Amino acid sequence: MHPRIYSEFDRVCERRRAGGAVLEIGAVPANDTLLTLPALARATSRIGVSLDGPARFGGFEILRANANRLDLFDGARFDTVLCNSVLEHDAFFWTTLAEIRRVARPGALVVLGVPGFDAPPPSYRRLSRLLAGLPSLGRTGREEADGLAASTPTLVVHRFPSDHYRFSREAVEQVLLEGLDDREVATVLTPPRFVGSGIRR
């Protein structure tokens, strides 16, 4: 995980006073897994789930589970649910979101991180104008320059084992965080990674 994404999760959890029983979807036995966030120091329990589980690391347990069916847990069990770099690999991410809502208690903090796309940076437009002005490009090159000007950067495809989605800021706020109150979305890095958070109704 990129350190800036880890820091953003920590910032959100600190500001929103994350704690209690914590669940991480897609946890890994590594120092940068979200269960190790300094803001979670007051957590009463920390549990992870992963398709690669089970594992133990840093005083917490990672259970083997598919986030599409979190049958291991009764409803309304967790005070904080964290999920980063999972939903883009989940062909049925909406079922994972439904499970997150099911296992989160009313008033629980939910924080999601996903790769996204956003408006192209000014450098894309400048580069496309520069390329379009080169006489040696020919028609095909000018069409590609126009395509560059109309495009937006996004995270490269990275299969673990598959890679299905990229999300807009609006999708994070209106779809992924649906059913949550006090929604916020932060943009981290370029190409953008969105970290969205909200409180379970």
The reported pLDDT for the residue numbered 129 is 63
Q: Is 180 exposed, middle or buried (0-12, 13-18, 19+ CB in 10 A)?
A: buried
Write down the mean pLDDT value for the chain.
Answer: 90
Residue 129 lies in a domain: no
pLDDT tens profile 109-133: 999 999 999 876 666 566 666 666 6
Domain assignment of residue 22, given as a range: 3-118+154-200
CATH code at position 113:
3.40.50.150
Q: How many CA atoms lie within 13 A of 161 on its CB side?
A: 2
Where helices occur in 108-186 by DSSP H, the ranges are 122-132, 138-149, 169-171
Residue 16 lies in a domain: yes
pLDDT tens profile 5-31: 999 999 999 999 999 999 999 999 999
Is pLDDT above 90 for 195?
Answer: yes
Are 47 and 58 in contact by the 8 Å Cβ rule? The answer is no
Mean of the pLDDT values across residues 177-181?
97
pLDDT > 70: percent of the chain: 84
Residue 136 lies in a domain: no
Select from 82, 94, 60, 91 the least CA-distant residue to 178. 94
Distance CA 200, CA 178 (A): 9
Choice among 96-105, 124-133, 180-189 with the minimum mean pLDDT? 124-133
State the greatest distance between any 2 C-alpha atoms of the chain, in Å, as a whole number: 66
Where helices occur in 61-171 by DSSP H, the ranges are 93-103, 122-132, 138-149, 169-171
Select from 193, 200, 195 the least CA-distant residue to 184. 195
Q: How many domains does the chain have?
A: 1
More confident residue, 152 or 68: 68
pLDDT band at 159 (very low <50, low <70, confident <90, very high): confident
